[in-house]
Structure formats: structure tokens, C-alpha cells
Chains A and B, each alone.
Chain A
């Protein structure tokens, strides 16, 4: 299992992501954004979190024009598995690989804390090792995590089982930290090979640091 992890100027979660996947037994490689290709043996491509290009203009807006993004789009369009975490999710929506957009949090504050998430759909390679309605405890750390999609788009997501995770409290009841439409924390594309979420499973890999629920999530990709 080979995981390639994208690194833009301002990315800061690439080493956490590397640690997480290596802990699960994968081999990893960090790919600088100037690269025009991704390794041909890549089984999963991760767009890691951080503040690519300082979040200038909009989060993810400039990263989408990095040289490597053409290869990412080709990889995704040919069925390759892509996971965008936090800023990576923002990059994937900006690049049009995932529907919707991430707006400034309703509170206008940067939010950094553990938050519970409920599994909404698990008929995809990412969450298939979890059950529907399972609740996991995963850190969130974002300023622009307020997921927006118009009512027609939301209907599409629901019909195609594209909503992966919603923000909840510990008992799985809706609790919305940032104003996201329908408390959505993560989605996938219609083809179910491109995944994006604002929470950071790679930061929940050790019980001693608060939670290891990230293991259950990320190991879905390890076959």
C-alpha cells in the first residue's frame, strides 16, 4: 500500500499524515507541489491539511493551479483514490473535484478542538470498516470549515449517499460547530473515489493524545 501525500507551500499536516499511514503499515511519499506527476504505484493520494499559499484569496484557491494538480485531476478522473483533509478538502472543492465550497465559520472564529462525528454512509472504501451511525471523536482545526452547497446540490448528495460524516455530540445528535449545511463534516464525489473532510483523523492516532478513532477511519484505505 503506497500513500502519496501532497505538499504545497504552507501545508503543515503532511508529516502527521505520513506518521498515521505508516503506523497502519503503508509506505508513504511526500510529493512537492512542483512535481508534474505522482508516483505510478500510488494507491491513495492525500491532499494534507495546512494553509496552502497562506489561504490567500480563499482557502485552496491558489493551490488548485499548482503544477501537481493536473496530475491529481487525471488520477482522480481515472478512478484513483484521493483524500483531502481540512485544507485538502478546500483544495478539492476549489479544483471542482468535490461539490460545494467551504466558507468562513459562522462564529468567525478559528475552531480547534475535539468534535464528535457520526458516520452517515459507509458504502464506500473510506468508511466501510465503520458502521452507519457510529460516532467517532476527531479533532477539528479550521477557520473556513463551514460547508456550503445549494439545496439542489444537497439533494444530489443525499440521493447518491455522498454525505460521509456529520458533526454531532457524543450521543450522535446533531451539533454544528461552524454553520455547515446540514452539519456536514465530510463528503465524497458521486463515483466514490474522491473524499474530503474538515476533521483530522491523522491527529487521532494515539489514545494518550485524546483519541485513536482516526485509526478506524484511515484503515479503510488499507487493503
Chain B
């Protein structure tokens, strides 16, 4: 089973990279972009086929290491 973890800065925490990318898109005359957030994606290959187990393991990994929950949110997708 694969776990895809998406990590981004929390709403309300200024995302300077997102802002810089937004500015660059504006400079390239791309229209209609309201907001840009830049995050990171971590892909984990897991031994288990048990979704509940996988979700609980990866949640623990996010809380302890993968995300800094003071400033970041994470979303886990299992495939």
C-alpha cells in the first residue's frame, strides 16, 4: 500500500513561497489565480495492506516527524 502525505502551511500562516509563485504567475499574465499555496508531498511505501493500520501508523509519523503541527497541516491519502 502507498501513503501519500501532503503537507502545507496552516491557513493563517503566511506562505512566502506561495506568494512568490503567485507573483510570478501574475508577471506571466496568467489570469484568475486567487491564491497559491506551496507544500510538500511525501510518498511512503508500506508493508501493510490494512488501511486502518496504515492510517494510524502514518498519522503518528506525521505528528512526530513529517509535519510540524505548530505551522503545518497534513493530509493522508492511501492508495
A75 at the interface (CB under 8 A from B): no
Q: Which of A101, A106, A179 is B70 in contact with, Cβ under 8 Å?
A: A101
> Judging by beta carbons under 8 Å apart, are B13 and A65 in contact?
no
Q: Which of A61, A100, A101, A106 is B14 in contact with, Cβ under 8 Å?
A: A106
- Cα distance A102–B20 when bound, in Å? 19
B46 at the interface (CB under 8 A from A): no
A181 to chain B, nearest CB (A): 10
Q: Is the interface of B mostly helix, strand, loop or mixed?
A: mixed
Residues of B within 8 A of A57 (CB): 65-66
> Judging by beta carbons under 8 Å apart, are B17 and A104 in contact?
yes
- Cα distance A149–B65 when bound, in Å? 19
Residues of A within 8 A of B68 (CB): 58, 61, 94, 101
Residues of A within 8 A of B71 (CB): 101, 103, 148
A133 at the interface (CB under 8 A from B): no
Q: Is the interface of A mostly helix, strand, loop or mixed?
A: loop
Q: Within B62-79, which residues are at the interface with A (CB < 8 Å)?
A: 65-66, 68, 70-71
B16 at the interface (CB under 8 A from A): yes
Residues of A within 8 A of B9 (CB): 103
Q: Which chain A residue lies CB-closest to B70? A: A101
- Cα distance A104–B20 when bound, in Å? 13
Residues of B within 8 A of A62 (CB): 65
> Judging by beta carbons under 8 Å apart, are B66 and A104 in contact?
no
B56 to chain A, nearest CB (A): 20
- Cα distance A106–B20 when bound, in Å? 10
Residues of A within 8 A of B70 (CB): 93, 100-101, 148-149
Residues of A within 8 A of B17 (CB): 104, 108
User: When A148-B70, A148-B71 are in contact, do A105 and B16 touch as well, CB less than 8 Å?
Assistant: yes
Q: Which of A94, A105, A148 is B13 in contact with, Cβ under 8 Å?
A: A148
Q: Which chain A residue lies CB-closest to B67? A: A58
A107 at the interface (CB under 8 A from B): yes
In the complex, per-residue mask of A50-74: 1 if CB is within 8 Å of any chain B CB, else 0? 0000000110011001000000000
Interface pairs (13), CB distance under 8 Å: A57-B65, A58-B68, A62-B65, A65-B65, A94-B68, A103-B9, A103-B14, A104-B17, A106-B14, A107-B16, A146-B16, A148-B13, A179-B14
A positions within 8 Å CB-CB of B: 57-58, 61-62, 65, 93-94, 100-101, 103-108, 146, 148-149, 179
Known: A65-B65, A108-B20, A146-B16. 14 other contacts (CB 8 A): A57-B66, A61-B68, A62-B65, A94-B68, A100-B70, A101-B70, A101-B71, A103-B13, A104-B16, A106-B14, A108-B16, A108-B17, A148-B13, A179-B14
